[in-house]
Structure 1
Amino acid sequence: MKDTGGATFDFRQRRALVTGAGKGIGREIAAFLAGCGAQVVAVSRSADDLAALERDHGCMPVVADLADVQGARDAVRAAGPVDLLVNNAGISVLQPFLDVTPDAFDRTVAVNVRAALIVSQEVARGLIARGAPGAIVNVSSQASTVGLPEHAAYCASKGALDQLTRVMAIELGPHGIRVNAVNPTVTMTPMGRMAWGDPTRSAPMLARIPLGRFAEPLDVAHTVAYLLSDSAGMIHGATLPVDGGFLAT
């Protein structure tokens, strides 16, 4: 089992479904949970990315476009009985507010919010039918709390995801299903390094982070694993920043 700062996570005999698992944060989460003994079902639009996860970490691949309602439902049904769910799939289409297109807005909401709703409904129904407890983590963002230029659709979708998390917690808690969100700051995925590698762009954001660095994907994976684990048994309905103190400034 993996050890993270003194806390050991043991997910043996648990099946975890991770959406958006092909790259970046989602891939790190899938790999980390697999290393903690979970049987991981990895969902992505990219068959090549999933093949690498299957080869390197033994994850079960499911190719799906979660922007499609039936595709999202079929992906969960293909996964089999799920104990742990990470709704990580997300997109960001950068447009100035005055230029935001309805298509870009609708697709952002479809992937970032509606897919989480549909996938969670399917997983929760299965848990309730089995009489089994479970845990769900929605991967949100600090952009749910603060506005960012050219991120109108993204910020709106992550704010909606936080509210969805709270409603899910209220309604699913009585069934023994815990629901939380993690809200990372800028995270140094390959795409994040490309977007924030220029010091002139990154310096103002870094200046607002007391720890003086951006997040790494493993920082997020550790937090997700904790919230999925029995160690977080009384944490429910929370939106947990992984931001180095950004929201404290």
Structure 2
Amino acid sequence: MEINFKGKRALVTGAAQGIGRGIAEKLLQCGATVIALDVSKPALDQLKTQCPSVELLVVDLSNWSATADAIKSVFPIDLVVNNAGIATIDPLTSITEDQFDRMFTVNVKALINVTKTAIGDMVARKSSGAIVNISSQASQAALLNHTLYCATKGAIDAFTRATALEYGPHNIRINCVNPTVVMTELGRKIWSDPKMGEPMLAKIPLKRFAEIENVVDAVVFLLSDKAAMITGSCLPVDGGFLAC
């Protein structure tokens, strides 16, 4: 299945490493002009070294006005991947106000701000568009000691459905991808520990965790015209975890 984004401008948040970097690289391969947004300039510079055509946008997503101004500076935008996110693993009684504020700011508030800004441009240009939000299986199934993380990802799913309803008439599609554990560099460090990994693997029918390319392929499909009739969906990339 050939997918071509020639002539499209794609914004990817959290693009300097892990899943975000994989998405940015794949979109470049598919012909898109990619704007890679991240808070880490050194990491973005490394991406630029390997992918010279990528455009860089250094901004802290927790800063509402700075984020909106930065995104407006790279208009027009046709495709958006809201990938940036953070996670902590703590029981409910250990959660602090700072943890709450930080996680909801990055995982939810920033995602809403990026989406709002990008959609404003699409509507003003009367242009179609596609947005994919990176959610998690944790939005649909309880994970032990992930109370706060589950709450943020549940918010992403609900926001995805609501915006899909609102902007469908403008031919703007909004979906999300809900992965299981993904074997990023950090994922391998945490989940290669049998005490962490084995209980989770036992709940996955395919008996393996996701690789970065598994998530990338789902995202690229949903951004493409091959998914022209798909909006408001939450696509699990979980090896069957949510089927159990």
Q: What is the TM-score when the length of structure 2 is the normalising length?
A: 0.97
Q: Which residue of 1 aligns with 2:228?
A: 233
Contact 1:62/1:78, CA 8 A, preserved across alignment: no
Q: Is 2:152 the counterpart of 1:186?
A: no
3-state SS of paired residue (2:130): strand
Identity %: 50
**What is the rounded CA distance, in whole Å, between the counterparts of 1:49 and 1:11 in structure 2?**
25
Cα deviation code 1:30-53 (max 9, x no counterpart): 111111111000000100111122
C-alpha distance in 1, partners of 2:63/2:90?
A: 23
2:75 alignment partner in structure 1: 80
Show CA shifts across 1:50-105 (max 9, x none): 11222212211100110111122122112220000000010112222101011111
Residue equivalent to 2:219: 224
Residue in 2 aligned with 1:38? Answer: 32
Q: How many positions carry a matched residue from both structures?
A: 243
Cα displacement string for residues 189-225 of structure 1 (whole angstroms, at most 9, x for unaligned residues)? 0000011011232111111111111001111010000
Indicate which of 9, 12, 15 corresponds to 2:6.
12
2:48 to 42, 54, 62: 54
Deviation for aligned residue 1:149: 2.1
Aligned to 1:137: 132
| 1:109-120 to 2 correspondences below 5 Å | 109-120=104-115
- CA–CA separation in structure 1 for the residues paired with 2:46 and 2:32: 17
User: Could you tell me how far apart the structure 2 residues matched to 1:35 and 1:78 are?
Assistant: 24
Unaligned runs of 5+ in 1: 1-6
Task: Check whether the contact 2:62–2:106 (CA below 8 A) recurs between aligned residues.
Answer: yes
Q: Who is 1:125 aligned against? A: 120
Deviates more, 1:148-157 or 1:84-93: 148-157
Give the secondary structure class of the aligned counterpart of 1:16: strand
Q: Distance in 2 between matches of 1:75 and 1:163?
A: 26
The 8 Å contact of residues 25 and 220 in structure 1, kept in 2 or not, is answered as yes
Q: Are 1:17 and 1:79, in contact at CA under 8 Å, matched by a contact in 2? A: no
Aligned to 1:103, which of 91, 98, 104? 98
Which residue identity lines up with residue 161 of structure 1 in the other structure?
A: I
| Paired residues of 1:100 and 1:152 also in contact (CA < 8 A) | no
Alpha-carbon offset, residue 169 of structure 1 = 0.3
Superposed CA RMSD: 0.9
Q: Please, which moves more after superposition, 127-136 or 63-72?
A: 63-72
Q: Find the aligned partners of 2:172 and 2:114 in 1 and give their Cα distance.
A: 14
Preserved CA contact (<8 Å) 2:75 2:121: no
Q: Which runs of 5+ in 2 are unaligned?
A: none
Q: Shift of residue 9 of structure 1? A: 1.2
**2:200 corresponds to:** 205
